[in-house]
Amino acid sequence: MQERHVGHSGLQVSRLGLGTMTFGSQVDELEAEDQLTAFLEAGGTFVDTAPVYGEGRAEALVGDLLAKRGVRDDVVLASKAVVGLRRGQVVSDASHGHVLAQLDASLRALRTDHLDLWQLHAWDPLTPWEETLAALEHAVSSGRVRYVGVSNFSGWQVGVARTSATRALGPLLVSHQVEYSLLNRTIEDEVVPAAQHLGLGTIAWSPLARGVLTGKYRSGVPSDSRAAVPQWEHFMAPYLSSECAPVVESVVRAAEGLDVSPAHVALAWVRERPTVATTLLGARTTAQLRTLLASETLDLPAEIVSALDDVSAPHAWED
């Protein structure tokens, strides 16, 4: 698998990454180990997790698997801070004490003495940015964090973070992680231009639009799909609208013409967008993950990229 630098930094990651949002919840330990094995065998190096993933169990599961296989030094391990679980509730807290306590908890769960990339999971409007930045600087200077990133920030928030971090962290704030797919291109208005100007790499999550771009929802909601689970209905609803259907159909037609799966087309499109360093893959089964990993070999013809750009452009949905 090819590797890329993250933005204008020395950090290198595989251009397909392993997302672990469902590890410990929908993906049990045995399946998670099989998925990690398949990912590593395919040449993947970037593993992304967070304290809230898997209902709070993903980090410990990832840490156990990396230790069991003895591959901690073979992966670029990324986790997050700010968003956490308190008494079962999701909270956002970027205060100095909370962020550093969360880092220590992540290191214990992941069974490691450092994170290769530590990301702020969300912008906290109640905590002064300078306070959060001081925590990031301390994490780096203490050796517990190698590089820093942000996640789900708006364009102006990315600008504030990178500009101020230049003074405190030098070039070590290197990435922003954000949802990006043919059905969600909103980051192209402000976030991608900000990343290009500031030299940040993009880590794309949900590149398959929460599974909709696989084409499996074209005839309804499969009983074994995420959209059939009540707790995920709200999460899935934005991409099951009639406005999204023409984009899905275009992806399916392109896949048929290339004799590949629709998922391959959707992943290859995101993978080659400006600033994208890595595209996160999430799967319920190892078979699904292996299928997604096979997209590594697909390079989309320019005419198909152009057609997908046109049909998926936000303003095209409004005409």
Domain total for the chain? 1
The residues of the chain scoring below 50 in pLDDT are: 316-319
Give the integer Cα–Cα distance in Å for 239 and 229: 15
- How high is the pLDDT of residue 221? 65
Give the integer Cα–Cα distance in Å for 186 and 278: 18
- How high is the pLDDT of residue 144? 98
Q: Is residue 77 part of a domain?
A: yes
- How high is the pLDDT of residue 315? 56
The type of residue at 73 is: D
Give the integer Cα–Cα distance in Å for 30 and 64: 12
Looking up residue 281, the CATH number of its domain turns out to be 3.20.20.100
Backbone φ and ψ of 145, nearest 5°: -135, 135
Do the Cβ atoms of 159 and 88 come closer than 8 Å? no
Catalytic residue (one of 53, 180, 217, 239): 53
Q: Is residue 204 part of a domain?
A: yes
Q: Is residue 83 part of a domain?
A: yes
Q: Is residue 273 part of a domain?
A: yes
Which run of H or of E encompasses 14? Answer: strand 12-14
- Of the candidates 207, 312, 307, 206, which has an alpha carbon nearest to the alpha carbon of residue 257? 307
Q: Is residue 218 part of a domain?
A: no
Give the integer Cα–Cα distance in Å for 161 and 245: 36
Q: Is residue 141 part of a domain?
A: yes
Q: Is residue 310 part of a domain?
A: no
Q: Is 147 a catalytic residue?
A: no
- How high is the pLDDT of residue 241? 85
Give the integer Cα–Cα distance in Å for 55 and 23: 9
Per-residue buried b or exposed e for 126-139, using 16+ beta carbons within 10 Å of the residue's own CB: ebebeebbebbbbb
% helix, strand, coil for the chain, step of 5: 50, 20, 35
Give me the domain span that covers residue 93.
3-211+263-301
- How high is the pLDDT of residue 85? 62
Q: Is residue 267 part of a domain?
A: yes
